[in-house]
Every structure is written in C-alpha cells, then in structure tokens.
C-alpha cells in the first residue's frame, strides 16, 4: 500500500510564456518511481485510474471481468487475480507513491528426491520423478548492494530501486530520462529557443500520491505529461470539464 505521507521533490525548467516544461532535474527517488511504472500489472493500472477514464477498450475488458459470474471461472481461480493483481515484493518498495496491493510472501517447495524442480504450490507432483513436492525452501532476493563502495554508488545502504543515487537525471516533457549533463540541457534549451521566444524560470514541485496518479494517467495518453500535470492546473481542470 502507498505511504500517504510520501513526497518527492522535482525541479522543473519552465518556459513561462508558453507555460510548458522544457525538462526536469530528478534524483534517484523520482526516477525509481517513474521506472517502476513499467512493472505495474495492467490490472493495477486500470484499478488506479478507474476503468471509465481509460483510453480505448481496455476499461470495458476490466469491467467484463468485474461483471462475470464466478461460476464461469476455472477451479482455484479468483477474479481478484485479474482485477487486483498483487505486486512482487521485489518491486513494491518503488511504488510508495501509489496505492497498490503488495504480494503475500510466496512459499517455495522443492522436490526432495531429485532436487531439480521448484513450485509455489505444496503437494505438486514433480514432473521429473513424479514425487510430491513438500520440502520448503527459501527464495533469496538479489542483493543490490554487495560492498561499501557499491552501497555508496547506489545512494545509501540497501538503496534498492533501479538507478544509482549519486547522479542527477534529466527528464524531458515526454518522459525521456537520461543522466544530467550541461551539454544535454543547453542543447535542449537552444533547440526550444530556436522555435519560441522563451522566458525561462525554475519551479520546484512536490510529487505525492495525487501527482503520481496524474503522471501515470498522463503518460498513457499524452506526449507532454510533465506540462499536463505541473503547469496551469486551472486551465487543465477547465479543459477536462
């Protein structure tokens, strides 16, 4: 589940004349969150945004499962596995801004006779030797920090996530994320200035659960999600009515 108090700070460079984001400067926490959107099950995305707001027909597909009588489902299958899929514990720490369901820790069972197969369902027959698999074993989560030097590079002990924490990242309005550099930022500013009479300003924004959901939605139906979420909220609200 989301921590309702979780907040992330993001610095934006905005053209005040057009009220458009050129790019943002982001740290590890924001980049980890944005990359974690790629790990969300589609059912979780629809649940967060609500089926009625989805572009295309995927919302109807979600509602079809909601309305389907469970007598039509195969044995040992629940609708919640499609409507409310649980996330792997490998990724859930990166979704702290979103109200997503976390997975229950799975139990793993090995074949005690040939030791060649693993299952998450106790008493499953081993396909290799046909014996019942009942011996529980432990799943080892990969370590993201194996040394003091690595932990420092990753932004702290057991930092986890996806990217290193000692680097500032540039995120463009269409969500292209790259390591920040003076050359890349100047190039982007010059490219934008050639087409427009710009008036640049910095804006520091706070990203919480509301903004996180707005970013998720905007990333699915817009090529300018940063502008859509963080610029001219009154204009956006009026346009959406």
- Tokens at 54, concatenated: 């989805």
- N residues, the chain: 241
The per-residue pLDDT for 70 is 87
Going by C-alpha positions, the residue among 19, 59, 23 that lies closest to residue 221 is 59
pLDDT of residue 188: 82
Q: What are phi and psi of 163, to 5 degrees?
A: -120, 165
| pLDDT at 95 (0 to 100) | 59
User: What is the predicted pLDDT for the residue at 170?
Assistant: 94
Q: Tokens standing for 219?
A: 């990333």
* Beta strand extents in the chain (DSSP E only): 8-15, 20-26, 108-110, 118-119, 124-125, 132-133, 135-137, 169-172, 177-179, 200-207
Structure tokens at 231: 């610029």
The pLDDT of residue 79 is: 87
**pLDDT < 70 stretches in the chain:** 1-5, 76, 87-96, 99-105, 141-159, 195, 232-241
pLDDT for 92: 55
């Amino acid at each position: 589940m989301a921590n309702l108090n979780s907040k992330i700070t993001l610095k934006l460079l905005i053209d005040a004349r057009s009220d458009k984001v050129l790019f943002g400067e982001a740290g590890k926490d924001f980049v980890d969150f944005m990359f974690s959107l790629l790990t969300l099950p589609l059912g979780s995305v629809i649940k967060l945004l609500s089926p009625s707001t989805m572009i295309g027909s995927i919302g109807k597909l979600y509602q079809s499962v909601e309305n389907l009588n469970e007598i039509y489902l195969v044995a040992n299958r629940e609708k919640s596995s499609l409507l409310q899929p649980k996330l792997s514990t490998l990724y859930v720490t990166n979704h702290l801004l979103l109200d997503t369901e976390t997975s229950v820790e799975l139990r793993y069972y090995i074949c005690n006779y040939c030791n060649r197969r693993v299952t998450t369902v106790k008493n499953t027959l081993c396909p290799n030797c046909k014996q019942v698999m009942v011996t529980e074993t432990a799943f080892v989560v990969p370590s993201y920090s194996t040394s003091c030097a690595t932990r420092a590079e990753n932004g702290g002990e057991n930092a986890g996530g996806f990217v290193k924490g000692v680097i500032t990242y540039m995120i463009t309005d269409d969500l292209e994320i790259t390591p920040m550099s003076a050359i890349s930022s100047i190039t982007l500013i010059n490219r934008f200035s050639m087409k427009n009479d710009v008036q640049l300003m910095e804006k520091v924004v706070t990203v919480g659960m509301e903004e996180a959901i707005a970013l998720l939605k905007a990333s699915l139906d817009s090529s300018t999600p940063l502008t859509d979420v963080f610029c001219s909220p009154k204009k956006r609200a009026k346009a959406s009515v």
